[in-house]
Amino acid sequence: MTVSRFTLVLFACGMVLSRASGQTTVRVGSKAFTEQYILAEIVSQLIERNTDLQVQRRFGLGGTDLCHAGLTSGELDIYIEYTGTAIASVLHEAPGADRRASFRRVAGEFRRRFGIEWLPPIGFNNTYSIAVRGDDADAQGLSTISDLARAEGNRKAGFTSEFIERPDGYPGLRDRYGLRFVPIVDLDPGLMYDALAGDQVDVICAFATDARIDALGLRVLADDLRYFPPYDAAILVRADLLRDHPELRDVLAALAGTIDDADMRRLNGLVDIHRREVAEVAIAWIESGLDQYDTWGAAVPREAPMSFWELAVRRRAELARKAVRHLGLTAAGVLVATAIGLPLGVLVHRVAATRAPVLALCEIVQTIPSLAMLAFLFAIYGLLGVLPASTALVLYALLPVTLNTLTGLRQIPRDIRDAATGMGMTPRQSLWLVELPLAAPVIVAGVRAATVLTVGIATLSTYIGAGGLGDFIARGLSRNDTRLTLLGALPAALMAVALSLLIRFVERTLIRS
């Protein structure tokens, strides 16, 4: 009862908000890595500058599934996707080698099946590629992957685990080129580039537009046998929106063919390496392209990069907003979980037959990976944002509350319960006057555990566009920027500790009274 009412209220709020913003707002989404933030920001600014439409930014969503579902459900209007990704993850087909054919395939299928338009490709192809150190390439005369297959000497490879396993990753590559690396080590995508530059490995599977390729003096080898499928980036727009606002097509088509691989690496580098703000980079690119890159960008060092504390002070207003949102998500999750979990705990205590199934269900929910849960809830609600995010939090917080309620009730000695019944208490009086007060410390401990857990999980709400401190963490992780990650993680940790202390304080006050 409580859930559905809560859901209804949130839902109603969402309706009012979306109604209020009406037809004149365009919702632009992005996935959670630098390139996506930059392109989404460029698209947003172009729309704001050249049309009467307002833009709502829903950046940093957790994956292709969410973005695609957002577009098909109308929760998003625009985001940037890659041909190879769309073929593999949405159409579930084997990607072809031809760039043009791939684009025609996805454009046709998306228009027909989803009512989504693919605008002409932006220009760059963010595919997997094979990279080596620049000095190695020069010394051995390596410019293609075939050169690498013919080159002298044994090379050690560092690949992402995904690349090692995917049939269209290393296994196929090895067969196509006759490559042989000994050994091959699993590396985190964020660590590969530094590992190669630091001589820890000799070959990596780089993403073609990663800024670190240039910054660390690495060399991408040409895929001369055309093994890697194309990942051409293009803007996806809901066909309805284009019909209602045909002016959008011209504004966005201006981006077609304007950013090649090297340009994208530079733009990424401005954010990832030179620590420029995404919005700043987007404005600069729109106003002067990359002509000014050398003068305003990397070559001219600005003042020393901000320290964490300077960053925190400068972005304090944003930090406060996100912290409040984070607190709200946590509170909603814990309160609703308590409102459900406490009666559920009483139920499984009183009706033994319900115990095994209910607890098993809570435990299963607990094991669902967070991103899968978010995607699943999005599929159910058809909404991004606070509602699916807080529902996920409720589901995760349910187990500790329910389990501790049960444990708290079970640890009450039998003779105390007998005494209550024997005095002539009704089951309800026994529950409220004796059992719940005696179980209270254990129940409150469960709520406390749930709260700490929820503060942590709420950082993932960013991936479904619900905001909170996770925004900073996701951006920091995607840009390899420790300060930004800390800007989210540190307040989250403090919030967990503070809430835990607060609950402990409330608990003591309760016991005393």
- Interacting residues with other proteins (CB under 8 A): 415-416, 418-426, 429, 433-434, 437-438
> Is the Cβ–Cβ distance between 132 and 214 less than 8 Å?
no
CA neighbor of 213 nearest in space, from 162, 155, 137: 137
Which of these, 456, 412, 455, 442, lies nearest to 507 by C-alpha position? 442
Distance CA 69, CA 222 (A): 35
Q: Which is nearer to other proteins, 361 or 440 (CB)?
A: 440
Nearer Cβ to other proteins (290/440): 440
Residue recorded with tokens 């159910």: 380
72 vs 429, beta carbon nearer other proteins: 429
334: which residues sit within 8 A by CB, 6+ positions away? 393, 397, 447, 450, 451, 454
CB-nearer residue toward other proteins: 52 or 415? 415
Which of 382/437 has CB closer to other proteins? 437
Burial class, 338, CB count within 10 angstroms (exposed 0-12 / middle 13-18 / buried 19+): buried
Nearer to other proteins, 112 or 428 (CB): 428
360/511 with CB nearer other proteins: 511
Q: What is the CA radius of gyration of the chain?
A: 27
105 close to 96: Cβ distance less than 8 angstroms: yes
To the nearest whole angstrom, how small is the minimum distance from the Cβ of residue 481 to other proteins?
Answer: 52
Closest approach, Cβ 413 to other proteins, in A, equals 9
For 176-202, the DSSP string reads: HHT---SSEEE--TTTHHHHHHTTS-S
Q: Which residues contact 346 (CB under 8 A, 6 or more apart)?
A: 405, 409, 431
Can you read off the two tokens belonging to residue 293?
């890159």
274 three-class SS: coil
To the nearest whole angstrom, how small is the minimum distance from the Cβ of residue 59 to other proteins? 51
> DSSP per residue over 222-259, as a string?
B-TT--SPP-BEEEEEEHHHHHH-THHHHHHHTTTT-B
CA atoms within 13 A on the CB side of 503: 21
For the bound state, the minimum distance from the C-beta of residue 416 to other proteins, rounded and expressed in Å, comes to 6
Nearest approach, Cβ of 422 to other proteins (angstroms)?
4
- How many residues can be counted in the chain? 513
- CA 491 to chain CA centroid, Å, is 19
Distance CA 245, CA 40 (A): 19
Q: In angstroms, give the least distance from the CB of 306 to other proteins.
A: 54
Query: What's the min distance (Å) between Cβ of 405 and other proteins?
Result: 17
Residue 42 vs 434, nearer CB to other proteins: 434
Coil, strand, or helix at residue 204?
strand
Nearer of residues 444 and 450 to other proteins, judged by Cβ: 444
| Nearest approach, Cβ of residue 66 and other proteins (Å) | 48
Q: Which is nearer to other proteins, 367 or 513 (CB)?
A: 513
Min separation Cβ 456 and other proteins, Å: 33
Report helix, strand or coil for 59. strand
Q: Which is nearer to other proteins, 12 or 416 (CB)?
A: 416
510, two tokens: 């309760």
Does residue 49 sit in helix, strand or coil?
helix
Q: How far apart are CA 501 and CA 177, in angstroms?
A: 60
